Amino acid sequence: MNNFLKKTISFILVMIISAGIFISGDNFGVKGAEPIEIGYSISTESLYQGDTVEVKFFFKNFEEVNVDCTAFQLDVYVDPAIFSVGTMKCNLDGTDAMMYTTKLNESENKVKTIYFNTRSSLPKDSSDISTMTLTLKKDFAEITDVQLNITLAMALDADNNRFDVTYSSPVVKCLPLSEKPAEPTVTPPVSPSAAASTAPFVTSSAAPSVTDKPPETIPPTDVVPSATPVATESVNLPTATTDSYDAPVGTANSGSAPAVTEDSADTPSETVKKEFTVTYLDSNGRVIKSETVEEGNAATNSKVPYRPGYDFLGWTVSSGTLKNITCDVTAVAVYEISDVLYTINVTGGTVNGNNTSVKVKYDDCVIVKVDESVIPENKYFVGWKKTGSDKVVSYNKIYSFLVTGSDDVVAVYGDTVSDVLPQTVLFERSVNTEAVIFTCESFIPAGCSYSGSGIIVTKDENIGKSVDLFILNAEGTTSYRANNNSINSQFSVINHNLAEVFYARSYLIYSDANGDKVTVYSDINIYNPEIF
């Protein structure tokens, strides 16, 4: 079995498992190999409702074990009724890796860490695996030990041999909120002279005690949302509209004090109600809108933030409820994956096994593989094209991507096989009544390393139509950088303003074989409301 085929089998196995497809059969560890040991650390051993804990996983003995690991996966089950998942980070060395990521698979309630590399093995000095933060959502009636169950720990070499992995699952002690000790009261120092001058008016010299109250989750529809999902990265672009509000009672529009007339001199002035700011954030923590609300009134925002492939559940609120505003409030949109299915058709190959067409959900992972038997005579496989672009998006015979809509994936053939350079391709994913979406994908061949990618936008026609002016950090443009650090990352921008012309272009920054940084760009895409 040649080396490429061996690595291909490893890749397919890891990607199918990450996509949630069940694989039957016996799995045997490599005979004579010492087991790989996985340990963990937690930032605190006990929590009250609203507290946050950081959990780290690491290799105990990877450097001592004789393992050439080209694929690794660690799955940790997190009960969504008990914890919400915050930040996640893959700490494995992703240099030249085809995939290294730590993300929440919401349908399985598992935080998955996946590493796959066809070019080299995981470095022998590897230690840290992944880190995640969890917030306790539930208030327990009594002290309860909650286990974060590791449901899968797998390591493979290039020959598809599976190594034994030993581990123990973290345990977090959850305490009743009723037993949480109150914050100590603080008595400020008082000088003798100050005490004497204020004595007749002082009933107590102690400052009131302060007890932290955990945030309350109250959507306006009274639906309790689940944890914010982590999936294909996208950015909602700010809208061009500006909210305006009536001047509060008792305040003149010019900002000057209201005039006092003879008729009104003896009339008691109206009480000016307090005003508070309600800030709405999307699932990425970016501001959607802000509004000013008088104390005691309900927030009036009725705009449901659009997120492709997901259904809106409600808002998680930092304090109180949106129905009765009594302080400044931050509301974060909460979603769940939609049941809508998208069709992936493949010409010249197969998808997810021996299929030429599959129906899948948004953010599902699909694996497309070239069918060698249908390559025309005297032709060579060049790469794959996909709906939304006439450019080759991947030059690999096995191409994997996360679903962002229905796609036709077509194999491209040529007379010769030539060397390829890193590139980025921008797709116009969809235009509907809610938004226009552009998604980019990057390709980096062996010998080069990923440094960053993203999408640039502008409304300036002179810039948008010029390949020389429409570049990263140019005046009149706005750049959105992907947070994902994977070389095969996908990144989207969502524009809700459908009344104006909108230009977009993706960029990719990579280091070449000499270590020099290079930036390349996609073709320029345009949204024109008169056309669409």
DSSP per position, 104-119: EETTTTEEEEEEE-SS
Residue 234 pLDDT class (50, 70, 90 cuts): low
Contacts of 345 (CB under 8 A, 6+ apart): 356, 357, 407, 408, 409
The per-residue pLDDT for range 74-118, each reduced to its tens digit, is 999 999 889 999 888 888 877 667 777 888 888 788 898 888 776
Residue 9 has pLDDT above 70, yes or no: no
Pairwise CA distance, residues 417 & 490, whole Å: 26
Residue 198 has pLDDT above 70, yes or no: no
Write down the mean pLDDT value for the chain: 75
Of 49-58, 152-161, 292-301, least confident by mean pLDDT is: 152-161
* Rounded mean pLDDT, 272-279: 88
Residue 58 pLDDT class (50, 70, 90 cuts): very high
Percentage of the chain surpassing pLDDT 90?
22
Pairwise CA distance, residues 45 & 43, whole Å: 7
Q: Any idea what DSSP says for residue 53?
A: E
Residue 281 has pLDDT above 60, yes or no: yes
DSSP per position, 282-300: -TTS-EEEEEEEETTSPP-
Entry field: residues in the chain = 532
pLDDT of residue 218: 33
* Rounded mean pLDDT, 406-423: 88
* Rounded mean pLDDT, 388-412: 87
Residue 444 has pLDDT above 60, yes or no: yes
* Rounded mean pLDDT, 340-356: 91
Dihedral in degrees, nearest 10, Cα atoms 256, 257, 263, 265: -160
* Tokens at 487, concatenated: 């070389």
DSSP per position, 169-205: --EEEE--GGGSPPPPP------HHHHHHHGGG-S--
* Tokens at 304, concatenated: 């449901």
Pairwise CA distance, residues 392 & 308, whole Å: 24
Residue 216 pLDDT class (50, 70, 90 cuts): very low
Residue 183 has pLDDT above 70, yes or no: no
Residue 239 pLDDT class (50, 70, 90 cuts): very low
Question: Which has the closest alpha carbon to 487: 437, 519, 445, 439?
Answer: 445
Helix (H) or strand (E) holding 5, with range, is helix 3-18
For residue 365, what are the β-bridge partners? 402
User: pLDDT: is 265 or 340 the higher one?
Assistant: 340
Residue 220 has pLDDT above 50, yes or no: no
pLDDT of residue 505: 94
pLDDT of residue 370: 93
